[in-house]
């Protein structure tokens, strides 16, 4: 056989060997799909299990309560996702939530006994909301500045600010709740602008959409991915790492402050103890949703699935009459399992 003809035959044989059969390709595509959307498959499985385990699980009232309860944690989780994406963390979100709740509540407290500031008139709800959100912007900017310019590890910086901010909330109220809020303010957390959809859920969906847009459609989102993937390479590429970190932590605390305003409006009072352990729920939702603690990997849809999954687990265990202490154990196991899974995936890629 001539050399040229022999070479063509060999190439044809190699091409045939490299081409996968259709059935094998379909299995490979399914595995890839299942791996990318595993959290949603688990979520669907949990819904099926809980619908059989408790007849009240899929009732309209229970689903509404579940979504309303988890929406505030979900708003916080979206902010925390950005921190983890950059290889950081924010442990101060629950404290910011508490401080935001008492400051906003104190401005709309009705005249009467127990008013925190007797000489202060009742402010419009929009002023209280703006004041609460300003708390988040200030706290986040401070966190971001400390992490960006003093090079303090995010864990230490936000742990210190968590203690300080919670103490400020307690000093502001002398550790007393701030009740008797105006009806216009309470409507924010208890009403429904769109029939059938509580305002709290509606705000969560808006923040979710904004977070997804920032993450996928803006230079800012690309910069955060770059910083999380390789900070040195991001600097070489011209990314202003320090300014992006300040924006990042400011947005995270803004989300926490928004959660504080909503929680105060929903419960009808502000309290320096509000949001206890909410920061852990937010971190858990982002982690379970596939946000890698190695940085550079996150999906907004994963965070949505993560918060819904944790909410269903909490709600399901409550409906089944299981101790709330068991719920914390389950949540802890889920967090550890998600991190171990992330570490194994990272090791395979390396």
**What are the beta bridge partners of residue 31?**
none
What residues does each domain of the chain span?
39-344
Which pLDDT score, from 0 to 100, does residue 8 have? 47
Q: Which residues contact 286 (CB under 8 A, 6 or more apart)?
A: 77, 80, 81, 84, 298, 303, 306
Long-range contacts of 212-218 (CB under 8 A, 24+ apart): 212/300, 212/301, 214/82, 214/251, 215/82, 215/298, 215/300, 216/300
Is the pLDDT assigned to residue 9 strictly greater than 60?
no
Q: Which residue has the tokens 């955060």?
A: 224
Q: What's the average model confidence in pLDDT over 94-105?
A: 97
Percent of the chain whose pLDDT exceeds 70: 87
Q: Which residue has the higher pLDDT, 194 or 7?
A: 194
**CATH pick for 39-344 out of 1.25.40, 1.20.120, 3.40.50, 1.10.3470:** 1.10.3470
Which range has the worst mean pLDDT, 44-58, 90-104, 250-264? 44-58
Backbone dihedral angles phi then psi of residue 197, each to the nearest 5 degrees: -120, 110
State how far the Cα of 340 lies from the Cα of 348, in Å rounded to an integer: 12
Q: What's the average model confidence in pLDDT over 283-309?
A: 91
Long-range contacts of 340-348 (CB under 8 A, 24+ apart): 342/287, 342/290, 342/292, 342/293, 342/294, 345/292, 346/292, 346/294
């Amino acid at each position: 056989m001539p050399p040229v003809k022999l070479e063509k035959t060999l190439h044809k044989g190699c091409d045939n060997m490299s081409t996968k059969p259709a059935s094998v390709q379909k299995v490979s595509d399914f595995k890839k799909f299942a791996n990318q959307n595993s959290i949603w498959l688990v979520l669907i499985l949990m819904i099926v299990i809980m619908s059989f385990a408790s007849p009240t699980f899929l009732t309209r009232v229970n689903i509404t309560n579940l979504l309303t309860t988890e929406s505030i944690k979900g708003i916080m989780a979206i902010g925390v996702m950005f921190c983890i994406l950059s290889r950081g963390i924010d442990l101060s979100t629950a404290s910011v939530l508490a401080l935001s709740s008492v400051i906003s509540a104190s401005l709309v407290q009705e005249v009467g006994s127990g008013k925190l500031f007797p000489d202060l008139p009742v402010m419009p709800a929009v002023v209280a909301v703006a004041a609460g959100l300003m708390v988040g912007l200030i706290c986040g900017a401070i966190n971001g500045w400390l992490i960006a310019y003093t090079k303090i590890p995010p864990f230490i910086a936000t742990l210190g600010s968590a203690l300080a901010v919670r103490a400020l909330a307690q000093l502001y109220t002398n550790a007393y709740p701030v009740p008797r809020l105006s009806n216009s303010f309470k409507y924010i957390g208890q009403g429904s602008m769109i029939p059938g959809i509580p305002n709290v859920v509606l705000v969560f969906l808006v923040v979710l959409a904004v977070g997804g847009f920032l993450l996928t459609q803006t230079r800012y989102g690309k910069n955060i991915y770059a910083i999380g993937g390789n900070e040195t390479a991001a600097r070489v590429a011209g990314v202003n790492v320090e300014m992006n970190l300040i924006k990042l932590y400011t947005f995270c605390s803004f989300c926490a402050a928004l959660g504080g305003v909503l929680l105060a409006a929903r419960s009808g009072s502000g309290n320096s103890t509000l949001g206890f352990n909410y920061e852990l729920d937010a971190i858990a939702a982002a982690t379970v949703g596939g946000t890698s603690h190695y940085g550079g990997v996150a999906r907004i849809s994963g965070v949505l699935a993560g918060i819904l999954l944790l909410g269903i687990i909490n709600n399901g265990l409550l409906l089944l009459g299981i101790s709330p202490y068991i719920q914390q154990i389950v949540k802890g196991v889920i967090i550890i399992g998600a991190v171990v899974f992330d570490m194994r995936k990272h090791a395979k890629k390396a």
